[in-house]
Structure 1
Amino acid sequence: MAIQRRAFLGASAALLGASAATPWPAWAQPAATGAWPQRPIRLIVPFPPGGSADFLGRLVADRLNITAGWTVVVDNRAGAAGNIGLDAVARSAPDGYTLGIGQTANLAINPSLYARMPFDPLKDLVPVALVASQPMVVTVKADSPHRTLAALLAAAKAGSEPPRVAFAGNGTVAHLTIELIERRAGVRLVNVPYKGAGPAVNDLRAGHVDFFIGNTVAVLGPIQGGSLRALAVTSPARLKTLADVPTMAESGFPGFDAQTWSGVVAPVGVPPAILERVHAEVNRVITQPEVLAKFAAEGSTPAAGQSMQQFAALVREQHRTWGDLVRQAKIQIE
């Protein structure tokens, strides 16, 4: 499966060539920007306050306000796994004054997951600046007898009852990571979805589920606090904040890569000069030492240096590969 073979930012020359041959629609629009920006810019975060997408959006907005001298206001538009907020971006005037935070779920997974989508991420939105990625982390209780992923999966195969794995939200990267593990390891797991990571982690601590798969924001605190133990991360490389935790590849799954990536998107039709300016300023922001420190503290890997074409290529590839998995697993949300 392509998502398992391709590293998060390892876009090949062939892939980038294909992207250049079929450019994203907005790049062909005429540029007539004048002096921009002349008023506040709205950055729509399509998730509630307090989550990883909100953290990233507010961090980018705050630093743009400081370093670029812009006025960027965060607008949380939650609902339908990010579809409501990004639909508002897609329907906004293409003048550069409305941007959004797009990520793996709402750009690459939802189009195959939902029976009806209010927008087409490949036709209605322009990937402007890739910001960062976060892996999933496989965790167990601190007093679990399983000290490695191999031990956990061996027990799953040997036991009379399949283990119960908790995750936050059907159709999320965490959910699809579980599907990948089941297929690669040849094990059967009982999926236990929760409305949020907090209740799932609490039930793991209480012993109501056997393990939890969630992003770094959800688990770093409990891991560092000593109540959870991390068995593996789903990124191609280890995280600095979890340097002792092996990757899935090191745990017996070569090429395994399942991450949440996030970036700034715009509606189709924004003049290229504005897109290029936003791209440049966001990339300048995410290389600042204070921003890098905050990313590291929450387990994120910055994506500085990625072009708009590379971001577009990533969206197209992930749209295809996650979509294939959703269809194979027959997961759908009405």
Structure 2
Amino acid sequence: MEAEAGATAEVRPRRRGLRALTVVLVLVLAIGAAGFGAWQWTLGRLDAAGPLASETAVIIPRGASSGTIAERLEQAGVVKDARLFMLGLALDQGPALRAGEFAFPAQASIRQAIGILRSGRTVQRRLTVPEGLTVAQIITVIEQAEGLTGPIETVPAEGTMLPETWAYSWGDTRASVIRRMAEGMERALAEAWAARDPSVPLANPREALILASIIEKETGVAEERGRVAGVFANRLRRGMPLQSDPTVVYAASGGAGELGRPISRADLDADHPMNTYRIRGLPPQPIASPGRASLMAAVRPAETDALYFVADGTGGHVFSRTLEEHNRAVARWRQIERERGLRQN
């Protein structure tokens, strides 16, 4: 009986120990399950749709800390909670976040937002420079472009920046855009010169650029560029003055490109190196930045026997072979100007 009582006493502590171990295991499993559930819940929040109703661009400045970036995203409505974004960064290790202007799509998740900021794919802005602007006018366009930075220390020579639509990113320098525009003009001019008509009365690419700038200012009608170039080519071959009004405007405006009033007799008679009513041949420099089409027109002019042209009142021009024909066309244009109140007599 004593032996049986001793055995029973030994079993009881053992059972109590097993029960305690079971409780501990249950607690561990419960805590583990809760932790796993919390982990899954957190990951779910990182992948959940965000609060943005529509695509939104956010600018991330250079040197911004992760906390600053998280706050900016919360302020912009990209993420609902900056703290959760920071947690997402901690859980989703990868390349550093980049600076710049980034576009976030509607309902972007936190994980998507992190991926966008790590990709470096910034918003591409567009800077459109119309054909025929002077260098002063182009510089104004560049200075007013949102997102460009830095001073313009060196202003390029007249006519040396290609007028096109240029892509840039927020934070790019103005100097870098000017450099790309100048390189673009160099390439476009080289391509045009390589494709030139061998009989064109131009000695080098510089002369082609000058003539192209005058063509650009003379007509806004694409179909006329070749004919205008043909008239100027004929005049150059004969040693006649080009008698181009835009060169007079350039001279009288001091290179501004706009006169703000009709050309006067005094303007036409002014002794100025850019005044093609007084000089023969090409002026010493371009009067604007020509586009690709005008560059090609300058080096491949249309075949024509016309020596004159004047506005026809519709945006185009009347082309004439003789001075007599031209004078009649000029008289019609003067009448149109009077009817429109553009000329007093």
TM-score bucket of the superposed structures, by smaller chain: under 0.3
User: Which structure has the bigger radius of gyration?
Assistant: 2
Larger helix share, 1 or 2: 2
